[in-house]
């Protein structure tokens, strides 16, 4: 009878040996043995400013560094036309305006990944002003944008109007990320590490409708109610940030024209010290009704449709004096922790990156290479004294619509930085004018994406997806050994 069982028992013994070998191999599997590369993910952010809209596409690996993604810019696209707030009377055009850039974005993202791409639309000062003036019109513009975004194969997360403080904080995150203040890659460690001595930078942003200052203050006398707490790459940061609505350069120019007209007793021809000599511009008093920044106070300005001609005088000192009148410096009294209009600000500290219109105005005047304050003042004064007859030939490649405004813009920047934010001859050297860091634009959108990657659920580590980890291998080995023991028990029964 045993002879009849011999082939069967031999088969069982062979299976037992095979299972034992498999169990032994599985018990030796290590996590590092088989890993897969992290998956590349994409995200897109629209920056809808007061004067124009831009789209930025970012990418990052699914593995994250201390819960914050390592993000780089893949594409930037400028939307044709003005800011979306200009479509208040025809909201559908706001949605149509972004289609061209959306089409370009989808060309750089594979079809297989498009439906996983989070897409955000952030509007800033232009829409903040429109909401203040006509909230229903602002809602309709955003609804049309959302309607268009919904037609594309992306995960649309909504169109929203950022607060000024959010805009300032995200800009601060962007510059410190790009310049390795938070984390940088260590070739020796083959990983991202926190710098031993982190040089945390301040951010200065100047747009068309508002301006922002953000930095990490120092000292025990800080009003911590005016600071925000951010956590990035495993570290906490307390920053001061403030946004000044109606103090962007476009709104400043409108307010300046309005004040000059008021001072002239509403003459039909008004001297403009900031415009080049012999340059003229005709505006309607009704244009002041289009913005909450100028649609206030004197009814003779806001209720009339009469035209007024502004005549340039090319007076640098007169321009600076006129611009200073746009600020209420007396509201601060003798306080050093105050900018203007009674707004609290701790003393500026450390190095700052000045971007957006800060950069573009000073880049035009060749003042972005670390020139001294005295040199900057001299260059601005020289530019302001040039006549309109000379300027186009001196700057043939510049947009003629912008040329008359550089004198006012430059003097405004001086006033904002020196009189309002209280930089001085010494701290001026700590301001660096920049538009890009490497190939990435400096602005609030990258900081926005960095913050949002914290909200995206962390994906499982690559080893979970790539192979069976040691814990699971041990479990499987245990099951196999149990089966082997069961077979051995069966074998013993057959022997009996």
Interatomic CA distance for residues 201 and 191, integer angstroms: 23
Strand partners, 53: 48
Interatomic CA distance for residues 254 and 27, integer angstroms: 75
Interatomic CA distance for residues 429 and 335, integer angstroms: 24
The 3-state secondary structure of 196-257 reads CCCCCCEEEEECCCEEEEEECCCCCCCCHHHEEEEEECCEEEEEEEEEEECCCHHHHHHHHH
Cβ distance 195 to 180 under 8 Å?
yes
Alpha helices in 385-466 (DSSP H): 391-394, 406-414, 444-455, 462-466
H/E stretch holding 176 reads helix 164-178
Catalytic, 425? Answer: no
Cβ distance 371 to 410 under 8 Å?
no
Interatomic CA distance for residues 167 and 150, integer angstroms: 25
What would the two tokens of residue 69 be?
């993604």
Catalytic residue, from 59, 144, 167, 251: name it: 167
Cβ distance 313 to 341 under 8 Å?
no
Q: Which residues are catalytic?
A: 167
């Amino acid at each position: 009878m045993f002879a009849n069982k011999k082939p069967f028992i031999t088969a069982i013994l062979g299976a037992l040996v095979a299972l034992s070998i498999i169990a032994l191999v599985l018990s030796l599997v290590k996590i590092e043995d088989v890993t897969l590369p992290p998956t590349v993910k994409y995200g897109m952010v629209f920056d809808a400013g007061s004067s124009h809209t831009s789209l930025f596409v970012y990418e990052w690996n699914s593995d994250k560094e201390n819960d914050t993604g390592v993000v780089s810019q893949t594409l930037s696209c400028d939307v044709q036309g003005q800011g979306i707030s200009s479509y208040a009377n025809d909201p559908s055009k706001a949605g149509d305006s972004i289609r061209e850039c959306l089409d370009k974005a989808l060309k750089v993202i594979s079809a297989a990944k498009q439906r996983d791409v989070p897409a955000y639309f952030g509007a800033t000062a232009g829409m903040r002003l429109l909401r203040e003036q006509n909230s229903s019109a602002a809602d309709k513009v955003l609804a049309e944008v959302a309607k268009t975004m919904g037609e594309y194969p992306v995960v649309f997360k909504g169109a929203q109007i950022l607060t000024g403080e959010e805009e300032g904080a995200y800009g601060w995150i962007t510059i410190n990320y790009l310049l390795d203040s938070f984390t940088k890659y260590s070739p020796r460690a083959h990983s991202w590490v926190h710098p031993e001595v982190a040089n945390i930078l301040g951010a200065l942003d100047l747009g068309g409708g508002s301006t922002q200052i953000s930095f990490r203050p120092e000292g025990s006398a800080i009003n911590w109610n005016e600071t925000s707490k951010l956590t990035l790459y495993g570290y906490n940061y307390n920053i001061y940030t403030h946004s000044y609505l109606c103090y962007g350069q476009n709104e400043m120019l409108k307010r300046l024209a309005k004040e000059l007209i008021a001072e002239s007793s509403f003459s039909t021809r008004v001297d403009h010290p900031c415009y080049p000599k012999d340059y003229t511009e005709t505006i309607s008093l009704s244009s002041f009704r289009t913005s909450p920044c100028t649609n206030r106070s004197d009814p003779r300005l806001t209720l009339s449709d009469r035209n007024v001609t502004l005549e340039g005088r090319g007076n640098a000192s007169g321009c600076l004096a006129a611009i200073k009148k746009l600020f209420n410096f007396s509201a601060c009294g003798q306080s050093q922790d105050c900018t203007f209009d009674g707004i609290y600000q701790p003393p500026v500290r450390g190095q700052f990156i000045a971007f957006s219109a800060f950069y573009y105005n000073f880049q035009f005047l060749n003042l972005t290479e670390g020139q001294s304050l005295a040199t900057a003042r001299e260059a601005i004064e020289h530019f302001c004294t040039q006549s309109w007859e000379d300027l186009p030939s001196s700057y043939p490649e510049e947009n003629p619509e912008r040329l008359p405004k550089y004198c006012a813009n430059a003097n405004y920047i001086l006033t904002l930085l020196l009189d309002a934010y209280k930089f001085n001859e010494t701290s001026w050297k700590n301001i660096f004018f920049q538009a890009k860091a490497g190939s990435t634009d400096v602005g609030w959108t990258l900081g926005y994406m960095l913050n949002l990657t914290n909200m995206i659920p962390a994906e499982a580590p690559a080893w979970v997806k790539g192979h069976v980890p040691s814990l699971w291998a041990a479990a499987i080995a245990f099951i196999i050994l149990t089966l082997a023991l069961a077979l051995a028990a069966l074998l013993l029964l057959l022997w009996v």
